[in-house]
């Protein structure tokens, strides 16, 4: 097997509990996004566009849909004779086996896979962030700095620093301190969960941690990185100034979709120089009735609209009935909205049926909550909403 300079390990086993009913039956990286895609399409496409040909995808929670979706990797040009994409679930070894116990442990349990390619560097990614990034530029930076570890960072608003791991750096961007969700941050550079490690260093630390913890190598943020920093390895911050969104909560997932519909979208999904690839089987075209009204929305193939859709995103197979009005909402695949339905500020899951005359997410007249306190209504997959139901703003069904 020819030696690879760098391979990617994509962590895609998370349960995504903060997304609630949206991840009840599906792994978080397989959650649909942007009318056409799933969350995992973004890091996989970034790998392809960055010239990375070997990607290990580490799956665990509810993996069936995700594994089937990835398939041979052909949709991302990762069906290679050497390298390509490999799905890596936990498995039983000679000495036994266990579920992945943390981010670092997931990498540790796949040492043999990484050693097949004998890379100089390993890129560790999360499978559930929305962004476009050239990892080859980050690797170039890593080599220029003669770094042992490079961490992708993003400037965040100072009032948001308590939500992130914060990297304190000197003038040369060398990381001199790591603060985990600090109350009083010294910097506003937040970790993006994107790491480049010199492989031999990482391998040694993973093995030592597993030995110390009776088999588990733990987590990068809590175990491996603090030990590496204590040993004064060279850590550098690679600042990313593009659009990046951790869609780990209902509100951030909804907001990321609304960002696509702004006058100047922060994330251009039409950019032919950096295509976001996805699995797209042949589907019929959209059908828009003669009196349908579409305003500032994304309507995927196979959707049918007989009513009004405003500032919303419809995935494939969605059907909107006559006199129904959808506003500021996300309608996931194969969901049927019958006639005379009103939906606002909502996320409607896959394969849902909303019967005639229902109202979802419509704020009561006496509700004085401000836009800052916006209540997102969520309907889980496969639900049937009875005729003339009234599901109030902020409720979760499922």
Q: Which residues are annotated binding-site positions for alpha-D-glucose 1-phosphate?
A: 100, 165, 180-181, 191
As a whole number of angstroms, the distance between CA 346 and CA 258 comes to 11
Neighbours of 178 (CB within 10 A): 18
Are the C-beta atoms of residues 267 and 65 closer than 8 Å to each other? Answer: no
Annotated binding site: 100, 165, 180-181, 191
C-alpha distances in Å from residue 42, one per residue of 78, 145, 216, 266: 14, 27, 29, 15
Q: Is the dihedral of CA 5, 112, 16, 297 positive or negative?
A: positive
Are the C-beta atoms of residues 53 and 84 closer than 8 Å to each other? Answer: yes
Neighbours of 394 (CB within 10 A): 17
Cα-Cα-Cα-Cα torsion 96, 98, 103, 105, nearest 10 degrees, comes to -20
Give the tokens for residue 15: 């349960």
C-alpha distances in Å from residue 122, one per residue of 5, 14, 113, 173, 395: 9, 20, 12, 21, 43
């Amino acid at each position: 097997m020819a030696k690879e300079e760098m391979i990617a390990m994509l962590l895609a086993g998370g349960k995504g509990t903060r997304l609630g009913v949206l991840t009840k039956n599906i792994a978080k990286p397989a959650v649909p996004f942007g009318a056409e895609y799933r969350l995992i399409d973004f890091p996989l496409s970034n790998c392809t566009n960055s010239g990375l040909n070997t990607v290990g995808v580490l799956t665990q929670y509810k993996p069936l849909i995700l594994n089937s979706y990835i398939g041979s990797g052909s949709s991302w040009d990762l069906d290679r004779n050497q390298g390509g994409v490999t799905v890596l679930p936990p498995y039983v070894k000679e000495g036994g086996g266990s579920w992945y116990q943390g981010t670092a442990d997931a990498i540790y349990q796949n040492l043999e896979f990484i050693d097949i390619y004998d890379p100089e560097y390993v890129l560790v990614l999360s499978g559930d962030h929305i962004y476009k990034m050239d990892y080859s530029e980050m690797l170039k930076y890593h080599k220029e700095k003669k770094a042992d570890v490079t961490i992708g960072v993003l400037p965040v608003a100072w009032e948001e620093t308590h939500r992130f791991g914060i990297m304190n750096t000197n003038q040369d961007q060398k990381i001199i301190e790591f603060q985990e969700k600090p109350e009083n941050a010294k910097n506003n550079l937040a970790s993006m969960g994107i790491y480049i490690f010199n492989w031999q260093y990482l391998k040694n630390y993973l093995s030592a941690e597993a030995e110390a913890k009776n088999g588990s190598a733990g987590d990068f943020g809590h175990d491996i990185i603090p030990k590496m920093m204590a040993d004064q390895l060279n850590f550098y911050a690679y600042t990313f100034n593009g659009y990046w969104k951790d869609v780990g909560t209902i509100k951030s997932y909804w907001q990321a979709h609304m960002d696509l519909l702004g006058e100047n979208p922060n994330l251009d999904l039409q950019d032919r120089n950096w295509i976001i690839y996805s699995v797209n089987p042949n589907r019929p075209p959209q059908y828009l009735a003669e009196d349908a009204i579409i305003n500032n929305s994304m309507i995927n193939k196979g959707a049918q609209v007989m009513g009004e859709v405003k500032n919303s995103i419809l995935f494939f197979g969605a059907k909107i009935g006559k006199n129904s009005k959808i506003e500021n909402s996300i309608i996931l695949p194969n969901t049927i909205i019958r006639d005379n339905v009103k939906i606002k500020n909502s996320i409607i899951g896959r394969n849902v049926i909303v019967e005639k005359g229902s109202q979802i997410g419509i704020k009561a007249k006496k509700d004085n909550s401000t836009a800052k306190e916006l209540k997102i209504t969520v309907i889980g997959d496969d639900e049937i909403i009875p005729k003339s139901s009234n599901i109030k703003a902020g409720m979760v069904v499922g």
